[in-house]
Amino acid sequence: MGFMLLRRLGQAFLILIGVAAITFVLLYALPADPARMLAGRSATAQTVASIRHELGLDQPLLVQFWTYLSGLLQGDLGRSYAQKTEVWTLIVARLPATLTLMAAGILVEVVLGITFGTIAAVKRGGTVDRVVMMASFVGVSAPQFVVALLLLYVFAVTLGWFPMSGYGSFAHVVLPAMTLGVLGAGWYARMVRSAMIDVLNQDYVRTARAKGLSSRRIIFRHALPNAILPIVAMIGIDIGQFMGGVVVVEAVYGWPGIGQLAWQAIQQVDIPIIMGVTLTSALAIVTGNLVADVIAPFIDPRIRTS
Amino acid sequence: MNRKWKSIGFAAFAAALSLSASFAEAAGVLTIGRREDSTTFDPIKSAQNVDNWVFSNVFDVLIRVDKSGTKLEPGLAESWTVSDDGLTYTFKIRDAKFSDGSPITAEDAAFSLLRIRDNEGSLWSDSYKIVETAEATDPKTLTVKLKTPSAPFLSTLALPNVSVLSKKAVEAGEDAFAELPTASSGAFTVKEWRRGDRVILEKNPNFWQADRVKLDGVEWISVPDDNTRMLNVQAGQLDTAIFVPFSRVEELKKDANLSVLIDTSTREDHLLINHEHGALAKKEVRQAVDMAIDKKAIVDTVTFGLGTVANSYIPKGSLYHYDANYQYPYDPAKAKAMLAEAGASDLSLNYVVNAGNEVDEQIAVLLQQQLSKAGITVNLQKVDPSQSWDMLIAGDYDISVMYWTNDILDPDQKTTFVLGHDTNMNYMTRYKSDKVKDLVAAARLELDPKKREAMYAEIQKTAKDDVHWVDLYYSPYINVARKNVENFYQNPLGRFFLEDTVKN
């Protein structure tokens, strides 16, 4: 177990270095010139050249990468080109907003997914099942910005239940979290449904039924705990999905998290921020997967013995 | 894992909930929704409109641009004189205080002017290289000596980037000042900057025109999505929003709670022509291209009729705009004949388009159709916006659409860039005209406004005749405000006069 963890940590470290290298090459291979973006249209070639020098962009790519990497290994993400502030400071300031949104999104998808998946499995073949499966299909396929605008229009504009955008109270988080969670909820409902159906056909369930247990007890005590196992692993992977989703959702709802930070940085070709956000996301994904792997044996004894 | 993430989540939730109390809007606080957040509060380190528009709320300048955007008026400089040789400027600094209560002195003004010229992080040093010395000859007198006479010099002092900053506050720590300026010379102070969310400004009681300011405060709130931003104003969750898309104007006008504000800007969109490429070197061919373009159709389609057809590179409403300038008629048949005469009837052009920019792509398709009627084949080459710039500099294009907005009221800045024959090859067009080159240089030195105006008229006529590029259209700023907001106005250079705005 200890050795496994150590090996996984080593892998995670290599993955992060790899992500850093690939992102770096991609960003600097782009024909975009951050100095030009910063200087504005009216700047002379001389100004642009001096900015380029100031930012170190006139150095060979390999030298730039080495500078970046050695900074990174000391925990230094560099300074934003446009905002002149430590990237780390900017990300830390935005992280609580994004984490709040992600936590709320996960809550939405888990609660909705498990509830509707279970109902559908139990009422398999019935109208309820069909409606749930249909809805989950829509949830999975609808583009996030469409869902966002739809929820915004119905619940904020027409009904006026929630604020349209911004950050700071419980009411603000509801719509963004719904938008973010609805996609995963669709997946989860489908997964829980098929896992439940599987489990409900198992011998031990039949035994439990033969023993005369109530169907509620069978579903909640015996079937569900087994059926939601795959979801635990999924949540780890989902963090990656969410990191992509937050960019769209934060833009629509004006949510001041790292997604919006990245969005603005992309407009300004502010490479250190783009790098920083990418690495933070990669770190979140790697950590999510790692944690899912580590705790899986505690939840599922079968993994422990194998 | 669940527990770990949840506990972090709950901690964040708790923090979020505790903030909610502060969300009730204060009565006299104006909320403005915009696309992007500020990037810095150090004026010399930004060249972006999002920043400039906030700088001018927070810092005052020696000389301001008036509401019409065509005249200068006294700011922190109460009056000024210019020596006969045009080299020495003497400014009298008015009795005014920074928000921290300390007096604004000539020392602070000199410091700010030299800082934008010399600071390594300054994006504007080129514009102020002309300053030889700037010193406080007494606490209320600033004396500036120039290297050469310059007609546009005074108007460069109105740029928000050269605002008067407190020497003491900046020297206490540049980085901290850029985060949260501790002393402001303008109508408002920065109370808080919640990065990515909003900039919170509070009325500056020490502002020299504090009586003029009606608002208790202003919040610049970033709402990146255009739809969300408009919905916010429609529902009354924001007082105002800027950057209204052209396509939304009709609908917003129908809302009885809103006023759609259309203010003149200096934005001009134009079609760049590479004068070094083949037949485009011939004036007649460029004239034919101009005649083959139906500018009215572009205005109607792209700006929903809100723009106006352009007839000069100096935008309508700007200083020295030559309103009587010639306009090539839309006449594809004549264009075709002219091309045949010039031996270019099989003209084929490579058009560099910014991919992903809706307006740019729309214009490209329109122009392709229009030019084909004159027998010109247009190949659209879609590239990333940041790449297109390098292609234009390298001359790797035949035609491409670009736009320009003025930073200062004097036409010299744009004229030099577009027709000054300096290192940028006349805004990448490679246009050459000795007559225009000499006129541009002479107009910069001419201090008599009447003579300058005549020179600029001559420049505009010549450039038009040579078709240095094709002027397409001018477009306004479009903002929207709730009906209870009065005097929410943006001048052509983009300055919001929030010191006059009232929220009832």
Nearest by CB: B232 against A30, A82, A164: A164
What integer pLDDT is reported at residue B11 of this predicted model? Answer: 46
Nearest by CB: A31 against B46, B125, B386: B386
Q: Which residues, at least 6 apart from B452, have a Cβ–Cβ distance to it below 8 Å?
A: B151, B320, B443, B446
Cα A217 from chain centre: 34
Beta partners for B88?
Answer: B145
Q: What pTM was estimated for this model as a whole?
A: 0.83
Are B92 and B79 within 8 A, CB to CB? yes
Nearest by CB: A165 against B10, B228, B387: B228
What integer pLDDT is reported at residue A273 of this predicted model? Answer: 92
What integer pLDDT is reported at residue A303 of this predicted model? Answer: 67
Instruction: Check residues B26 and A271 and name the one with the higher pLDDT.
Output: A271
Which of B3, B8, B39 is the mutation pick for testing A, counting most A CBs within 10 A?
A: B39
- pLDDT tens-place string over residues B171-201: 999 999 999 999 999 999 999 998 888 999 9
**What is the mean pLDDT of the segment spanning B252-268?**
95
* Window from A194-198, B217-221, B337-341 with minimum mean pLDDT: A194-198
Are A111 and A189 within 8 A, CB to CB? no
**Beta strands per DSSP E along A96-233:** none
Which of A264, A269, A283, A290 is the mutation pick for testing B, counting most B CBs within 10 A?
A: A264
Record: contact B9-A172, CB cut-off 8 A: no
Q: Chain B: nearest CA to A251, how far in angstroms? A: 5
- Cα–Cα dist B407/B405, whole Å: 7
What integer pLDDT is reported at residue A293 of this predicted model? Answer: 77
Domains of chain B as residue ranges with CATH: 3-57+175-264+477-503 (3.40.190.10), 63-171 (3.90.76.10), 267-474 (3.10.105.10)
Domains of chain A as residue ranges with CATH: 2-73 (no CATH), 94-305 (1.10.3720.10)
Per-residue confidence band for B26, with pLDDT thresholds at 50, 70 and 90: low
- pLDDT tens-place string over residues B40-97: 999 999 988 889 999 999 999 999 999 999 899 999 999 999 999 999 999 999 999 9
**What is the mean pLDDT of the segment spanning B223-246?**
90
Nearest by CB: B228 against A41, A152, A260: A152
Q: What is the CA angle B50-B51-B53, rounded to 5?
A: 75
Mean pLDDT per block of 10 residues along chain A (306 residues) reads 80 90 84 77 76 85 88 88 86 89 90 89 86 85 85 85 82 89 86 85 83 81 77 75 82 86 84 91 84 75 62
Which of B57, B310, B93 lies closest to B204, judged by CA?
Answer: B57
User: Above 60 in pLDDT, residue B5?
Assistant: no
Q: Chain B: nearest CA to A36, how far in angstroms? A: 9
Beta partners for B382?
Answer: B353
A100 interfaces chain B, CB cutoff of 8 Å? yes
Q: Chain B: nearest CA to A174, how far in angstroms? A: 12
User: Above 90 in pLDDT, residue B418?
Assistant: yes
Nearest by CB: A44 against B126, B223, B237: B126
What integer pLDDT is reported at residue A244 of this predicted model? Answer: 77
Record: contact B179-A85, CB cut-off 8 A: yes
User: Which residues 230-269 in chain A show a CB within 8 A of chain B?
Assistant: 232, 235-236, 251-254, 256-257, 260-261, 263-264, 267-269
Which of A38, A164, A255 is the mutation pick for testing B, counting most B CBs within 10 A?
A: A164
Q: Which residues, at least 6 apart from B278, have a Cβ–Cβ distance to it below 8 Å?
A: B344
Tokens 């690939």 belong to: A22
Which of A111, A134, A104, A137 lies closest to A231, judged by CA?
Answer: A111
Are B478 and B246 within 8 A, CB to CB? yes
Amino acid (one-letter) located at B440? V
Which of B168, B207, B205, B201 lies closest to B185, judged by CA?
Answer: B207
Would you say the C-alpha torsion B18, B24, B25, B26 has a positive or negative sign?
negative
Are B329 and B311 within 8 A, CB to CB? no
- Cα–Cα dist B126/B88, whole Å: 19
Which of A285, A291, A296, A299 lies closest to A102, judged by CA?
Answer: A285
- pLDDT tens-place string over residues B267-316: 999 999 999 999 999 999 999 999 999 999 999 999 999 999 999 999 99
Average pLDDT value for chain B: 91
- pLDDT tens-place string over residues B81-132: 999 999 999 999 999 999 999 999 999 999 999 999 999 888 898 889 999 9
Of chain B, the percentage scoring pLDDT greater than 90 comes to 80
B16: which chain A residues are within 8 Å (Cβ-Cβ)?
Answer: 96, 100, 167-170, 172-173
Q: Which residue of B has its CA nearest to A102?
A: B9
B26: its two tokens: 């204060």
Are B219 and B200 within 8 A, CB to CB? yes
Q: How far apart are the first and last CA of chain A?
A: 12
Instruction: Check residues B153 and A180 and name the one with the higher pLDDT.
Output: B153
Beta partners for A86?
Answer: A79
